[in-house]
Amino acid sequence: MEKKVLVLDIDGTLTNSRKEITGATRQAIWEAIERGHKVMLASGRPTPGMRRYEEELELARYGGYLLSFNGARIVECRTGEVIYQRTLPLNLLPGLYRYAKEHKMGMITYLADTVISAFEPDEYIRLEARINGLPIRVEENFLEFVDFEIQKCLLTAPGEQAEVYEKELQERYSQVASIYRSEPFFVEIMPRNVDKASSLDKVLPMIGMDRTHTICCGDGFNDISMIRYAGVGVAMANAQPAVKEAADYITASNDEDGIVQVIREFMN
């Protein structure tokens, strides 16, 4: 049996609409690991926001990996070691701050296990904090406060507006940053050339695997790069239309244990 690497987005993919891993999905993942396959979680979430699922799947015991911040940081679960990291140039922040303020967007970054907000949090920032189980700290002197290495900034706006802002920001900053939406209302500002696919391309040689052995599953815009990169790219039934177009295979939804279907189809 050929060993595979199962790469799972978290929200809308690994977890159901209640942000839970179902018993059936957890059991199927454990059985795949016991057959010798590897599991990685790849998310736009900050690393602390992924820990709950790392612990539920016992990846420290089984030897999995966390690809957080859309791949700007890779952690080996067994040792807790950061084995790869890219940071966002801090000289981008003043321009991003001015743009966010002008367009009344939310703007955050992360410090350890805290969300740092430049402005009074909007509903999307409160959602981000709640999803990750992290407190929000508002810093009025945001640009002075953020003098430490960061993996990403997150800008927020209603979906139709965020689509326009995403394109404008790409035009301004594409030479120095990677910019894309992970959800209709989340605009991710990442180090240049960082996405889930580029992250996988770094970690796979470290574990003696290559892209032909990967099965990448996702539902959001930020999953498209790894779905195209994978040996088998999988979109959830609940995925955005553009994600389905990029996929080789469409599985059941996150509320119908779509990951169980993938494991049965490709990892037996």
Do residues 187 and 179 touch, judged by C-beta distance below 8 A? yes
Determine the pLDDT at residue 1.
Answer: 67
- Do 118 and 100 contact (CB within 8 A), yes or no? yes
Residue 7's DSSP bridge partners are: 40, 216
Q: Which of 181, 173, 176 is nearest to 105 (CA)?
A: 181
pTM: 0.90
Distance CA 167, CA 155 (A): 13
Q: Do residues 8 and 246 make contact, with C-beta atoms less than 8 angstroms apart?
A: no
Amino acid 242: pLDDT: 95
List pLDDT tens digits, range 93-142: 999 999 999 999 999 999 999 999 999 999 999 999 999 999 999 999 99
Give the chain's residues under pLDDT 50.
none
Give residue 183's pLDDT.
87
CA 38 to each of CA 57, 61, 86, 225, 236: distance values in angstroms, whole numbers, following the listed order: 12, 12, 24, 20, 20
CA-CA distance, 39 to 262, in Å (whole number)?
13
H/E element, 216: strand 214-218
Domains and CATH numbers, the chain: 5-86+194-266 (3.40.50.1000), 90-191 (3.30.1240.10)
Assign residue 63 a region (left: φ > 0; alpha: ψ between -120 and 50; beta: otherwise): left
Provide the H-helix boundaries in 22-90. Answer: 23-34, 51-56, 59-62
